[in-house]
Structure 1
């Protein structure tokens, strides 16, 4: 396929070429894969400034999206790609190819670093979904940061760098620039720009930025950061976000309120207890969805109100494909039981079948299918059966359908049990988005007047 880049894509590719350390904060659907592969092709085969490139991505994105994109575009001809996922032997076989570009899932980074050690062959590293490296204690972070002396170029790609606040971005930029802009140590970053927020005695749970700190942080990373919002550069179809209230019966409401008050409830001899407030949150969200795990891990079904609401939505869809996001395993089992034709999108074959319109009811878990998968060809209706606290997973899952290439107006529907924690989760997601938007907007790079005029003339 011939590549006809948008002006913003040309600018983003140029930014990668011009910066040895680049944070590319692209809105969902802006084509970050082809933007980055174009820069890689030029660096490898035009400028000869790098020799081997490693791309780190979520498993399904590493396995399906990156190799597909590399093979899709005519201008990337000559770029050899190996995918190092799967069994150890599969990974070793991929590495043995010494391809120009090697793609690996992030879980295998510690293994890869251990395998190569000081013989690390990759002089350019691209991290797809950079926000998955926000935990500085995670093995993937501590392993990859050791390889900094061997790497000349770093690129981080994400649309959600600060889904839970500005504390998230330290590890991401520490990996990209070695700590030049935000400091080499998390404690100094925290002490300089943050104050304790939520705490219990001496134990601090969260931090909030000091007055004026946000602007200073934004300025510190601005020179290596390119930020673009989808709404500024793409004309997407209309988006409707709605919430369908799900009303619990008196019996189910009583169970919910008892668990909320006592942290324990007896359901016909099966005891369900929540050891602490965090566990209670999970239990209450389970109850809101209709089932809960007892003390032995068995599923106890409490109500089918959300299943009934989903059935109404499917009937109203009148044969159009519907994508359903679920959070709990018992959600998946109960949806399958009520709708035997439902199919979980797990494999490449599942995704292909969905995009061909052969799956009327597709099921995805945000943690495994929230990043990078192109599902817009298969439908335009998304239903959140159960919700997640993670703004990142929420936004990324929505972007599976609401992205470039979507031809139909998109509708995203939340099934929210009234008077339950479902409503608090929706409120929390909205509140977190304010922090995320502040970061994105602060470093948003607008196209030059010349590019805008050129675009208007096309």
Structure 2
């Protein structure tokens, strides 16, 4: 296919060429992969500023998306991709292959750093979904940090840089500039911009921003971070977000209140016990969806109110495909029992076939987990116009990424995102929490937005 870049794609590519280490905070659907590959091609073959490129990505993206994008575009087909995936022997063979770009999944970063050691020879590293390195204590962050001084160029890609607040930014920016802008350590970053919030002894559970720290953080990183929002660049159809209130019957309400009050639901075979506040929160969220795990990992049914609501939604879709996102396995099994026509995405090549079947309207009801639907899935070509969140979640990143599987570039239909929210339960708390997080992230994205003219309607 002939590549005819949008103005924002040209801008993103040029910023990569001009900036040795850069964070492209591109919302889902803005074609960040082809923009980055175009820059990599120029760096390798025109500017001779890169010799060997590593892409670190979520597993499904590493296995499929980058190679598929190379095959898709005429100007990229000469690039050779080697997938550093699979067993240790398969990974070693892939590393020895003669290629331009080596792609691995983020779980293999620690292995790769250990395998190469001081022989690390990737001068350019692309971190697809940079926000997956937001934990400064994770093995993947620590491994990449060790070899960062040996890397000439770093390109970080994400649409959700601060899903849980600005505290998440330090590890991501450190991988770019090695601490030049936000501090050499997480402690220095916290001391400069935050104050301790809730704590237990010496353990701080959350950090609160100091006055004016938000703007100071934005100003510190604006030269290496570019933000673009899909709504500013794409002529997308309307997206409607609605909450469908779910009412509990008296028995289900009583069970919910009992667990909330007593931390225990006694049953003959196995009790439902909430030993900590975190466990209680999770079990209440399960009960809001209709079932809960007991101490023996059995499932105790509480109500079918969400299943009934989902049945009404599917009927109202008038035969068009419906996508349903779940978080709990018992929600999946209950939906599969109620709706035998439902399908899930399988792994590997089977999963690729499932994606093709969905996009050609061969799957009437697709059930997705947000962790498997987060990155690299293009599901916008079906005639689906309805996305349903059966279970409510706390992760803004997973919520935004999952919705963006259908509401993205190439979508031509109005999309309705429905959240089944059980009244008076933790469902409502989760929805409110995501809205608060979205407000903070929107401020970050707006502050770093690229100052270039919007594409005029009908422009070439």
TM-score range normalised by the length of the shorter chain: over 0.9
Paired with 2:388 and 2:344, the residues of 1 have a C-alpha distance of: 14
Paired with 1:84 and 1:328, the residues of 2 have a C-alpha distance of: 31
CA deviation profile, 1:376-418 (whole Å, cap 9, x unmatched): 1122321101011000100111101110001111111101111
1:400-439 aligned within 5 A:
400-439=405-444
CA deviation profile, 1:69-111 (whole Å, cap 9, x unmatched): 1110011121101122222233223222131111111011111
Paired with 1:283 and 1:34, the residues of 2 have a C-alpha distance of: 42
* 1:201 to partner: Cα distance: 5.2
Q: Which secondary structure does the structure 2 equivalent of 1:405 belong to?
A: coil
CA contact (8 A) 1:289 1:417 kept: yes
Segments of 5+ residues of structure 2 without an aligned counterpart are none
Task: Say how many residue pairs are matched.
Answer: 455
Q: Which residue number corresponds to residue 367 of structure 2?
A: 363
* 1:269 to partner: Cα distance: 4.3
Q: Which residue number corresponds to residue 273 of structure 2?
A: 273
Paired with 1:278 and 1:24, the residues of 2 have a C-alpha distance of: 34
Paired with 1:46 and 1:103, the residues of 2 have a C-alpha distance of: 22
Q: Which residue number corresponds to residue 355 of structure 2?
A: 351
* 1:268 to partner: Cα distance: 5.0
Paired with 1:370 and 1:301, the residues of 2 have a C-alpha distance of: 29
Segments of 5+ residues of structure 1 without an aligned counterpart are none
Q: Which residue number corresponds to residue 149 of structure 1?
A: 149
CA contact (8 A) 1:380 1:406 kept: no
1:13-32 aligned within 5 A:
13-32=13-32
CA contact (8 A) 1:228 1:446 kept: no
1:50-89 aligned within 5 A:
50-89=50-89
Q: Which secondary structure does the structure 2 equivalent of 1:351 belong to?
A: helix
CA RMSD of aligned residues (A): 1.4
Q: Which residue number corresponds to residue 376 of structure 1?
A: 380
Paired with 2:94 and 2:317, the residues of 1 have a C-alpha distance of: 44
Q: In the superposition, relative to structure 1, how do residues 279 and 6 fare at CA in structure 2: closer, same or farther (>3 Å)?
A: same
CA contact (8 A) 2:233 2:455 kept: no
Paired with 2:428 and 2:356, the residues of 1 have a C-alpha distance of: 34
Paired with 1:200 and 1:89, the residues of 2 have a C-alpha distance of: 46
Q: Which residue number corresponds to residue 392 of structure 2?
A: 387
Q: In the superposition, relative to structure 1, how do residues 340 and 393 fare at CA in structure 2: closer, same or farther (>3 Å)?
A: same
* 1:245 to partner: Cα distance: 1.3
Paired with 2:313 and 2:455, the residues of 1 have a C-alpha distance of: 42
Paired with 1:380 and 1:17, the residues of 2 have a C-alpha distance of: 38
1:244-283 aligned within 5 A:
244-283=244-283
TM-score for both structures, normalised by structure 2: 0.96
CA deviation profile, 1:103-149 (whole Å, cap 9, x unmatched): 11101111111111111121100001100000011000001111112
Paired with 1:439 and 1:272, the residues of 2 have a C-alpha distance of: 41
Q: Which residue number corresponds to residue 402 of structure 2?
A: 397
Q: Which residue number corresponds to residue 91 of structure 1?
A: 91
Q: Which secondary structure does the structure 1 equivalent of 2:160 belong to?
A: coil
1:154-233 aligned within 5 A:
154-200=154-200, 202-233=202-233
Q: Which residue number corresponds to residue 38 of structure 1?
A: 38
1:329-344 aligned within 5 A:
329-344=329-344
TM-score for both structures, normalised by structure 1: 0.97
